[in-house]
Amino acid sequence: MPRAILLILDSVGIGGAPDADAYGDVGSNTVGHIAEFAATGKADREGLRAGPLNVPNMDAMGLGAAIELSTGILPPNLSTTPKGGRFGVGREVSRGKDTPSGHWEIAGVPVPFDWGYFPQTEPTFPPELIAEFIERAKLPGILGDKHASGTDIIAELGEESIRSGRPIVYTSIDSVFQIAAHEGHFGLDRLYEICQIAFELTAPLMIGRVIARPFIGENATTFKRTGNRRDFAISPPEPTLLDRNKAAGRQVFAIGKISDIYAGHGVTHKLKGTGLPQLFDKTLEALEMAADGAFVMTNFVDFDSEYGHRRDVPGYAAALELFDARLPELIAKLRHDDLLILTADHGNDPTWKGTDHTREQIPILVFSPALAQGEIGIRSTFADIGESIAHWLGLAPGRHGRSFL
């Protein structure tokens, strides 16, 4: 019986979606712009990388061809002639450009409602929400209360947070309520405890996630976020591909933040990791444990959190090249009837204005030793990815999307 491996390259978009104008993202193109900057030397960084974007393995799966299909433009040092598998473009029907929207739709469940968002004012949060949060969580108060980059606000307020015992509370243009606190001085379990309280308070507002953002270090120059992030998320409104495979009595491996995104639903094995190399190692580990009919799903968050939001073009390019260099290890472990899909959940163009996600189309790169190469076109919903995996695994069709296999 076949197995399926789905790798989400978080934020690796390939050109503005048809409705990008509604989000101020017309012209965004995460991978395309990174490739353009690399070709001109603007993405060089001594000791990190230099020269044109070098991702031959993803390109062989159809990355360049997918970008040209999406935008009409072939980026430098990429090709229109894949050497194996199938390629195409995904177009989202869910509103917004959030992580849960993209992931749920990929797993066969488009988001049928509008997320709640906090206004771009300062203070940002409703006073009654913060007052109840402080009372229920028994806090001396909070810091922040604004839109901010996570790394920037920790550098700004981390020392005061340690001194005062007040957590840092902030948001972004996404549907999130984020809480940062020091792992040692504040306590990791205590951070999770107050995040659970915040989740109960924000769920009626349709805020998609409350995110625990632990950090270490003793001053602004040494503060660093850790891999103990935890997302407290609203549950999908109906069974996803993960639930359907689990209900069939099969394994579902959730690697990275996947389990959090789906609120733990449909998961039989949860593996955590910090950084692209470790997440890739955990994916290989899961594949070793995966029995017939297993579904392995990994989110590679660093593309988004470490490089997209920070508008770090050289770092993003280097991360793409690191991931690409490791792909042959995974492909070598595939059985003849295994299915591998590489895709994304939204964009986060590091050359774009601001520090937030961009409303983009996504690559769909499909490979199996048992699959002939070809083009699957521009898909009208991300749900086609989940339905294709369901078809491959012999599951009954879902309500949304249709298989391209």
- Average pLDDT (83-94) is 95
Convert the pLDDT of each residue in 172-190 to its tens digit. Answer: 878 999 999 999 999 999 9
Q: What is the pLDDT of residue 354?
A: 84
Convert the pLDDT of each residue in 240-294 to its tens digit. Answer: 999 999 999 999 999 999 999 999 999 999 999 989 999 999 999 999 999 999 9
Task: Provide the 8-state DSSP code for 43.
Answer: T
- Of the pLDDT bands very low, low, confident and very high (cuts 50, 70, 90), residue 12 is very high
Distance CA 142, CA 378 (A): 46
The overall average pLDDT reported for the chain is: 96
Q: Say if strands 269-271 and 252-255 run parallel, antiparallel, or are unpaired.
A: parallel
Convert the pLDDT of each residue in 137-160 to its tens digit. Answer: 999 999 999 999 888 999 999 999
Q: What is the pLDDT of residue 163?
A: 97
For residue 172, give the nearest of 125, 132, 126, 214 by alpha carbon.
125
3-state secondary structure of 157: helix
pLDDT at 112 over 90: no
Residues 167 and 179: beta-carbon distance below 8 Å: yes
Return the residue matching tokens 């606000």: 153
Distance CA 75, CA 63 (A): 10
Q: What is the pLDDT of residue 5?
A: 98
Q: Identify each DSSP E strand in 251-396 by its residue range.
A: 252-255, 269-271, 295-300, 339-343, 362-367, 374-379
Q: What is the pLDDT of residue 87?
A: 98
Could you give the percent of the chain with pLDDT greater than 90? 92
Phi/psi of residue 53, each to 5°?
Answer: -60, 125
Strand order in the sheet with 4-9: 269-271, 252-255, 295-300, 4-9, 339-343, 362-367, 86-90, 374-379
Q: What is the pLDDT of residue 109?
A: 97
Convert the pLDDT of each residue in 180-225 to its tens digit. Answer: 999 999 999 999 999 999 999 999 999 999 999 999 999 999 999 9
Q: Quickly list DSSP for 89-141.
A: EE---SSS--HHHHHHHHTT----SPPP---SSSS-S-HHHHHHHHHHHT-S-
Q: Say if strands 176-182 and 143-147 run parallel, antiparallel, or are unpaired.
A: unpaired
Q: Is the pTM of this model over 0.85?
A: yes
CB count in 10 Å sphere of residue 219? 10
Q: What is the pLDDT of residue 355?
A: 83
Distance CA 9, CA 326 (A): 14
pLDDT at 42 over 90: yes
- Average pLDDT (357-386) is 97
pLDDT at 95 over 90: no
Q: What is the pLDDT of residue 227?
A: 85
Q: What is the pLDDT of residue 84?
A: 86
pLDDT at 56 over 90: yes
Return the residue matching tokens 């949304």: 400
Phi/psi of residue 215, each to 5°?
Answer: -140, 165
Q: What is the pLDDT of residue 151?
A: 87
